[in-house]
Amino acid sequence: MTNARTHALAMDAADPLRPFRNEFLIPKHGDREQTYFVGNSLGLQPRGARAQVLEVLDKWANEAVEGHFNGQTAWMTYHALVREPLARLVGAQPGEVVAMNTLTVNLHLMLASFYRPTPQRPAILIEAGAFPSDRHAVESQLRLHGLGPATDLVEVEPDEADGTISMAAIERAIAEQGPRLALVLWPGIQYRTGQAFDLAEIARLAHAQGAIAGFDLAHAVGNLPLALHDADADFAVWCHYKYVNAGPGAVAGCFVHERHGQAGLPRMAGWWGHEAATRFRMAPEFVPAAGAEGWQLSNPPILALAPLRASLDQFDRAGGMTALRAKSEKLTGFLDALIRERLSGTLQVITPAEPARRGAQLSLRVAGGRERGRELFEYLQQTGILGDWREPDVIRISPAPLYNRFGDVLRFVEEVEHWRGV
């Protein structure tokens, strides 16, 4: 790609999503904008978020307790305002999703309902090197049942050269556990390597052994097209502050397949999960609302939920995940091609090369080890290019199709070349 600059300019000029960049507040580095590749950690602020938060503050100021009941954005039903756009984002039926709590809390709520070990079927299967919070959640759930990781937690080790995991290894691990397997908890995208997985296939393999299939979609939601209902996931959890741009600690998401939504599954219950029609009778018996909403505990933090409305509206206006993914594949493909062509002695892409096995993020191992890696990372920061660092020697770069340009990708590559030259 000798004419990378021409190519980048042409791609940006022809990009149908180009106007969306102006809907984001991009931090400054000196007098220019940062080149921000950290949407996998905290997405940028959509300009529309402030209006949504102010709307809540104003409603509170002007209506106080009446704000629960008045108008289109009454707080009593505020969570339902995001139900349909959220269902579109993850490929679910509206009744299968709810915005509530935070990711790890939702994971515990789901494990409380779906991890029901018996002496014959105690095991949970996850990926080795899982995000610590997921590992803590799973281990603590095992301990709540008097079990432990030594005997009942199966961690599937990477079997591919760059630390990724083949489908064959997952299939083997599931088959080995067989009837001992209670639950598979798998990431949509592994946070460290950026590897994406075939969720429908993993659900199929888990179900074939009589196990539950649950997914952590922290790095997949807003990044990959998802079809949770059709993939036959039993449950899924995710956060909204990464690719969904709903702000630090944003209210998270949860999916419960419709076949479980009516089944009266045991759960950790709270009054907001009680069926809405009779909630305010304040009776002692818990009657769960149908669907994922039946797992709500508390009346939601409305101020924290407000930015999500602005974010989900952007995904809809952008044409949904199909449109975003079309750009994302090109954008990340451009980054991948330039690194392989121009930086091969400096950066090694450890994320799988096949587009179907990755999302926006590329995980880049820096040649020369940790010290060289930190040098490069800090150099990039000083020039206003933000990626993030994963010990011991990996820089993660995630071009987000809503606000990153092909020109941003080129700038990254040119700055690495410059650093290498000095």
Binding of ligand PLP by 218 (CB under 6 A): yes
- The strand order across the sheet containing 347-349 reads 347-349, 362-366, 394-397, 388-390
Binding of ligand PLP by 103 (CB under 6 A): yes
Binding of ligand PLP by 348 (CB under 6 A): no
Q: Which stretch binds ligand PLP (CB under 6 A): 211-219, 284-292, 352-360, 361-369?
A: 211-219
Looking at beta carbons only, is 75 or 186 nearer to ligand PLP? 186
Tell me which of 53, 92, 154, 239 binds ligand PLP, using CB under 6 A: 239
Closest separation in Å from C-beta 241 to ligand PLP = 7
Closest separation in Å from C-beta 327 to ligand PLP = 23
CA–CA distances in Å: residue 94 to residues 97, 150, 156, 288, 321 = 6, 39, 33, 17, 17
Looking at beta carbons only, is 343 or 394 nearer to ligand PLP? 394
Closest separation in Å from C-beta 354 to ligand PLP = 22
Binding of ligand PLP by 134 (CB under 6 A): yes
Binding of ligand PLP by 216 (CB under 6 A): yes
Q: What are the tokens at 212?
A: 């539950």
Binding of ligand PLP by 131 (CB under 6 A): yes
Looking at beta carbons only, is 248 or 368 nearer to ligand PLP? 248
Query: CA dihedral in degrees (200, 224, 131, 113; nearest 10)?
Result: -50
Closest separation in Å from C-beta 226 to ligand PLP = 15
Looking at beta carbons only, is 37 or 131 nearer to ligand PLP? 131
Cα separation, 16 vs 18, in Å, equals: 6
Q: Which stretch binds ligand PLP (CB under 6 A): 127-135, 168-176, 357-365, 382-390?
A: 127-135
Q: Which amino acid is at 56?
A: V
Cα separation, 272 vs 294, in Å, equals: 8
Binding of ligand PLP by 133 (CB under 6 A): yes
Closest separation in Å from C-beta 98 to ligand PLP = 16
Looking at beta carbons only, is 240 or 309 nearer to ligand PLP? 240
Cα separation, 115 vs 109, in Å, equals: 10
Q: Are 222 and 242 in contact (CB under 8 A)?
A: yes
Closest separation in Å from C-beta 248 to ligand PLP = 10
Q: Are 333 and 355 in contact (CB under 8 A)?
A: yes
Q: Which amino acid is at 322?
A: T
Tell me which of 114, 191, 235, 377 binds ligand PLP, using CB under 6 A: 191
Number of residues lying near ligand PLP (CB under 6 A)? 12
Cα separation, 169 vs 171, in Å, equals: 5
* Helical H segments across 222-301, by residue range: 228-231, 258-261, 276-279
Binding of ligand PLP by 236 (CB under 6 A): no
Closest separation in Å from C-beta 363 to ligand PLP = 13
First-to-last C-alpha distance (Å) of the chain: 24
* Residue 210 burial (10 A CB sphere; 0-12, 13-18, 19+): exposed
Q: Which amino acid is at 42?
A: L
Tell me which of 73, 93, 102, 348 binds ligand PLP, using CB under 6 A: 102
DSSP string, 391-422: TTTEEEEB--TTT--HHHHHHHHHHHHHHHH-
Cα separation, 392 vs 403, in Å, equals: 29
- Give ∠ CA 409-399-30 in degrees, rounded to 5: 65
Q: Are 49 and 307 in contact (CB under 8 A)?
A: yes
Closest separation in Å from C-beta 359 to ligand PLP = 12
Q: Are 169 and 139 in contact (CB under 8 A)?
A: no
Looking at beta carbons only, is 339 or 397 nearer to ligand PLP? 397
- Block residue for tokens 């503050």: 57
Cα separation, 210 vs 188, in Å, equals: 21
- Residues in the chain, total: 422
Which residues in 260-319 contact ligand PLP (CB under 6 A)?
A: none
Per-residue interface string for the shown chain with ligand PLP, residues 144-183, x marking contact by CB under 6 A? ----------------------------------------
Tell me which of 187, 261, 373, 399 binds ligand PLP, using CB under 6 A: 187
Binding of ligand PLP by 219 (CB under 6 A): yes
Looking at beta carbons only, is 311 or 346 nearer to ligand PLP? 311
Closest separation in Å from C-beta 102 to ligand PLP = 4
Contacting residues toward ligand PLP, per CB under 6 A = 102-104, 131, 133-134, 187, 191, 216, 218-219, 239
